[in-house]
Chains A and B, each alone.
Chain A
Amino acid sequence: MLELLPPLNEHNLPWMDTLHPIVVHFVIAMGLITFVFDLIGVLTRRSALFEVSFWNLLFATAAIFVAIIFGQVEAGLAEPYGASRDILNLHSTIGWSLAGVLSLMSGWRYVIRSKDPQQLPLAFLGAGGLLTALIVVQVTLGNQLIWVYGLHTVPVVQAMRAGLV
């Protein structure tokens, strides 16, 4: 499979820099803002915000599949070491699970919106809270891969190629 990709650069990547952290902007921001707007919408009875969070949720759901595609390619090239191997495994597992959770929530939300776009059941707000918690855990794991273990950063790739990690 790897011979299908361009040659690897100093980030051990076939493209300029990691793309997964860019795509996840849209999963994280849209996923979190869905819950924030739902909460404000319920508390202040502004049903216009439910429409805003519906579209944000739909976008988060579309974006997570793109994030997973790039995430899997870049994880495959990450050469994790030490405890980062376990963190990467967990990050991948939660990432795929989040795709399922977001898809289910989008479907559920579509039905809610079709029935009455002015109302939001509290159960969905609860699910949004759980989604938020799951995103926070997932972001923390991803943060450790880059900010602690430096996967795909030039110094770590150099050390890896020199057999130092």
Chain B
Amino acid sequence: MAQFIPADSPIEQLAGDLGANGLPYALPIHPNLVHLTIGLFVIAIAFDIAGALYPVEKRVFRFLALPITRGGFHDVGWYNLLACAIATFFTVAAGFFEMLLAVPLPGVTSTIGLQSMQTMLWHGVGGVVILLVIVGMTVWRGYQRFVWRRDMGRQVQWLYLLVGLFLFLVIGLHGTLGAELAGEFGVHITADQLLAAGADLKEALP
């Protein structure tokens, strides 16, 4: 089967509007929103674990003279996850915009053995799946907080915490792909793109 692959990349239509980093602005947005997604998710699950294990750890906090309540820990678990779900829509949206403008360096194979297009496809689809799981977990968390377990001390099911911990692993792998797109494929990094274009960094980035 003959495959149609045009010589010119569609990105050339926009080339005049883009900087050396391949973006219409100096610093990419997606990697900054990722801080919110990952930080808020990890701390949300961590504090729900702290709330679930409250009977074990309360002596430690008494020793530290730090007054705590179980409900306070679960409040962190709920509000951080809610903020994470909201922020992650923007993380994924910015990610797709910037991935559409990505020009990965050719001839590179990443540390985990993928080429650039494979890495971008896994990172793109994975990002949407993670957004769906985060939103699903937020709804699940809401039902536990306000309906199923509203009168219970431990506000979360053990299964919820297990799913959260599993998502840590998925996010870790997913983040590795994203880091490789930058640090190995040079996506949206001015210096890497300039070097690929044959520029002298001593002159181009003094």
- Give chain B nearest CB distance to A11 CB in angstroms: 6
Interface band, chain B: 35 or more
B98 to A: closest C-beta gap in Å: 11
Bound-state CA distance A112–B111 (Å) is 49
Q: Spot the interface stretch: B135-143, B147-155, B186-194.
A: B186-194
Interface of A is mostly: helix
- Chain A residue numbers with a CB within 8 Å of B108 are 154
Residues of A whose CB lies within 8 Å of any CB of B are: 11, 16-18, 21-22, 24-26, 28-30, 32-33, 36-37, 48-49, 51-52, 55-56, 59, 81-84, 114, 139-140, 143-144, 146-150, 152-156, 159, 164-165
- A150 adjacent to B192 (CB under 8 Å): yes
Partner of B27, one of A22, A84, A143: A143
Partner of B43 from the list A22, A56, A144 (CB cut-off 8 Å) is A56
* CB-based contact B191/A153 at 8 Å: yes
Contacts of A26 in B (CB 8 A): 39, 42-43
Report whether A150 and B39 are in contact in the complex, using a CB–CB cutoff of 8 Å: no
* Bound form: Cα–Cα A45–B58 in Å: 28
Binds A, one of B71-79, B121-129, B159-167: B71-79
Chain B positions within 8 Å of A, measured between CB atoms, are 21, 26-28, 31-32, 34-36, 38-40, 42-43, 47, 67, 69, 72-73, 75-76, 79-80, 83, 105, 108, 111, 175-176, 179-180, 182-184, 186, 188-192, 195-196, 200-202, 205-206
Q: List B contacts of A140 (CB < 8 A).
A: 27
Q: Which residues of A contact B188 (CB under 8 A)?
A: 147
- Separation of A114 and B182 alpha carbons in the complex (Å): 45
| Chain B: CB-nearest residue to A149 | B191
Question: Can you report 28 residue pairs joining A to B where beta carbons are below 8 Å apart?
Answer: A17-B180, A25-B34, A25-B35, A25-B38, A26-B42, A28-B36, A29-B35, A33-B83, A36-B83, A37-B79, A48-B72, A48-B75, A52-B79, A55-B72, A55-B73, A139-B32, A139-B35, A147-B21, A147-B27, A147-B31, A147-B190, A148-B21, A148-B27, A153-B189, A153-B191, A154-B192, A155-B195, A165-B201
